Structure 1
Amino acid sequence: MKKLFLLFLALNFSLFAKEVTVSILPQKYFVEKIAKDKISVNVMVQPGFSPATYEPKTSQMRKLANSKVYFSIGVPFEKAWLEKFKNANKNLLVVDTTEGIEKLPMAKHSHEEEHDEHKHDEHNHNSDHKHEQDHEDEHEHEGLDPHVWLDPILVKIQAKNIYKTLVKIDEANSEFYQTNYENFIKELDSLYLQLKEILTPVKDRAFMVFHPSWGYFAKRFTLEQIAVEVQGKEPKPNQLVELINEAKEHNIKIVFVAPQFSQKSAKVIANSIKGDAVIMDPLVENWKEGLIKTSKQIVDSYK
């Protein structure tokens, strides 16, 4: 009897909960912190795929017809698809959750600047790349950094934009959303202090990543991000030499790589510095635990 009741509740939720769609998994975490079970959240970019080049499936486009809102965040694939989403659902409300955030330029590093005149060279794609793991397009690398979800203080701005939108589409539950929003803001402040404490031993130090996803995180916690990528491409042999020397200069023993990208260059550098290439995922669904894990990984990389 209890199982039947729980099944009834689940069916009732799926039938009557309003639907929204987000671009990436961390946004799902943010929406659910505020909406709890009042809102059903669909995610466009599936685990293991890159938000640079993602192409939604036909089934996702069909499901989009049920969404009241699309919460965008400025990742590259949105540039090609937001208009298509609007055409697929004429009543879709598209909300930029980054409104009010002053974005940083994509990180440029010394080896990139020295070879800037070659920025239009043909991409050196490796055969072991998956189609959806291709590097971010040139627009992102020449423009603004979209990775604003990796700074808990900037997430407070995103949370406010989400909260205001939920109240707009579901005014009957406005007090419920307000309570959860205020609690989430407190959680974000607490998380910031926790991460700051974890990272204190490595303040002002550098960490090396394949793709420059961690610029906002690095700035918030007074760290230096050194990126392996050059204009979204694998580094050339002479650039690899520069990166290896820089890693040695900073006493770096770990090269971090997101699972959406090839580990080839990271492993070359890691082997040369007698270190390791380690996975560090900026797109995990459990966003809070992901940031805590990342912070500990950076600290542990200097032990």
Structure 2
Amino acid sequence: MRKILILLLLSIYTSFAITITTTVKSVADIVKEITKEKAKVYYIIPPNASIHTYEYKASDLKKVYQSDIFLYIGSGEPNINNIIKLLPKGKQIKVSDIKGIKLIKEFEFKEHTEEQKHHHETFHPALWLDPENAKIIAKAVYKRLIKIDPRNKRIYEKNLKSFEKKVDEIIKYGKDKINKLKNKNFISYHYAWPYFTKRFGLKYLAVIELGHGREPTPKHIIKLINLIKTNHIKSIFAAKQFYNPKYADLVKNATKVNIIFLDPFGINKNYIQMIKFNIDKVYEGLK
């Protein structure tokens, strides 16, 4: 009987898993690189949805409140303060507050600076698109994990070092590839890529959309068309989460540019695959 009880307790202990939830998939993918099979990792905003307009479901809130760790960006996510105020501080990681995270607080375009102030956002939320930030997020997750699961410290440390190496390699890959381009001018539909363009040496020249879902004015479209022609732009980059074909097609028909879709959230990709996909697509569009 004693042996059966010990085996039962052991099976319960070994089946226990740390649960971690994030707002966006890209951050969840970074977390998975450290935890591997040692934790259950969830995200609540689907990667094919807009981070700015997503409406949380009851099942999303259940995931958050049942988690051992909840990671959120701290900007761009709708009503995030209403979620975290009921969550113990010890279970939260506000990604933008992690020491060493590089935040973009000054935007290239006047319209988006005004939009930022209107929504009380102090920085651009897509910070995971700078792979250097991914390493910093991964290390913060590692530090929290070894506090709540010290038994697996060596595994987490090994996973962290492996991920850091992969990130360093993808940054080198991206810089080497982008450096081959003669024209590094970058135009996107939505202002989603300042971290990515800054890390890989692209010049963020313009955007079509004037803010979250704000339609461009005729004056802005004309200015954009002239900019594309003057700078010999071959492609405009878009993401399905932030896209209105009406205005993209208008610009495309007037300039003959290509519309190339990037992936800021890693649909059907892990973190490294997502970054590589975007590097390759940008290179193809600008070469």
**Partner Cα distance (1:231, 1:210) in 2:** 10
**Partner Cα distance (2:272, 2:14) in 1:** 26
Which residue does the alignment assign to 1:139?
119
Could you say if the C-alpha distance between residues 57 and 13 of structure 1 is closer, same or farther in structure 2, counting changes exceeding 3 Å? Answer: farther
Q: What does residue range 1-303 of structure 1 map to in structure 2 within 5 Å?
A: 15-77=15-77, 80-87=79-86, 89-90=87-88, 93-98=91-96, 99-100=98-99, 101-105=101-105, 107-109=107-109, 112=111, 138-139=118-119, 143-202=122-181, 205-225=184-204, 226-232=206-212, 233-261=214-242, 262-284=244-266, 285-303=269-287
Tell whether the 8 Å contact from 1:204 to 1:224 is kept in structure 2 after alignment.
no
Q: Which shifted more, 264-273 or 180-189?
A: 264-273
Give the letter for the 1:279 counterpart: F
**Partner Cα distance (1:44, 1:292) in 2:** 24
Task: Note the C-alpha offset of 1:204.
Answer: 6.4
Tell whether the 8 Å contact from 1:203 to 1:222 is kept in structure 2 after alignment.
no
Q: TM-score, normalised by structure 2?
A: 0.85
The alignment partner of 1:294 has SS state of helix
Could you say if the C-alpha distance between residues 156 and 37 of structure 1 is closer, same or farther in structure 2, counting changes exceeding 3 Å? Answer: same
Task: Note the C-alpha offset of 1:86.
Answer: 4.3
Could you say if the C-alpha distance between residues 184 and 15 of structure 1 is closer, same or farther in structure 2, counting changes exceeding 3 Å? Answer: same
Could you say if the C-alpha distance between residues 182 and 289 of structure 1 is closer, same or farther in structure 2, counting changes exceeding 3 Å? Answer: same
For these two proteins, the number of residue pairs brought into alignment is 270
RMSD: 2.6
Tell whether the 8 Å contact from 1:22 to 1:42 is kept in structure 2 after alignment.
yes
Tell whether the 8 Å contact from 1:55 to 1:77 is kept in structure 2 after alignment.
no
Tell whether the 8 Å contact from 1:207 to 1:255 is kept in structure 2 after alignment.
yes
Give the letter for the 1:231 counterpart: G
Give the letter for the 2:156 counterpart: Y
**Partner Cα distance (1:14, 1:90) in 2:** 26
Tell whether the 8 Å contact from 2:75 to 2:123 is kept in structure 1 after alignment.
no
Tell whether the 8 Å contact from 1:23 to 1:71 is kept in structure 2 after alignment.
yes
Could you say if the C-alpha distance between residues 90 and 103 of structure 1 is closer, same or farther in structure 2, counting changes exceeding 3 Å? Answer: closer
Could you say if the C-alpha distance between residues 47 and 154 of structure 1 is closer, same or farther in structure 2, counting changes exceeding 3 Å? Answer: closer
**Partner Cα distance (1:209, 1:13) in 2:** 50
**Partner Cα distance (1:277, 1:14) in 2:** 50
**Partner Cα distance (2:29, 2:132) in 1:** 15
- Unpaired segments of 5 or more residues in structure 2? 1-10
- Cα deviation 1:232-255 (Å, max 9, x = unaligned): 322101101101111112211222
Tell whether the 8 Å contact from 2:102 to 2:133 is kept in structure 1 after alignment.
no
The alignment partner of 1:62 has SS state of helix
Could you say if the C-alpha distance between residues 297 and 12 of structure 1 is closer, same or farther in structure 2, counting changes exceeding 3 Å? Answer: farther
The alignment partner of 2:236 has SS state of strand
Tell whether the 8 Å contact from 2:183 to 2:286 is kept in structure 1 after alignment.
no
The alignment partner of 2:28 has SS state of helix
Tell whether the 8 Å contact from 1:69 to 1:94 is kept in structure 2 after alignment.
yes
Tell whether the 8 Å contact from 2:102 to 2:127 is kept in structure 1 after alignment.
no
The alignment partner of 1:44 has SS state of strand
Task: Note the C-alpha offset of 1:143.
Answer: 3.3
- Cα deviation 1:207-233 (Å, max 9, x = unaligned): 111111111111122111222222332
Q: TM-score, normalised by structure 1?
A: 0.80
- Unpaired segments of 5 or more residues in structure 1? 1-10, 121-135
Tell whether the 8 Å contact from 2:178 to 2:201 is kept in structure 1 after alignment.
no
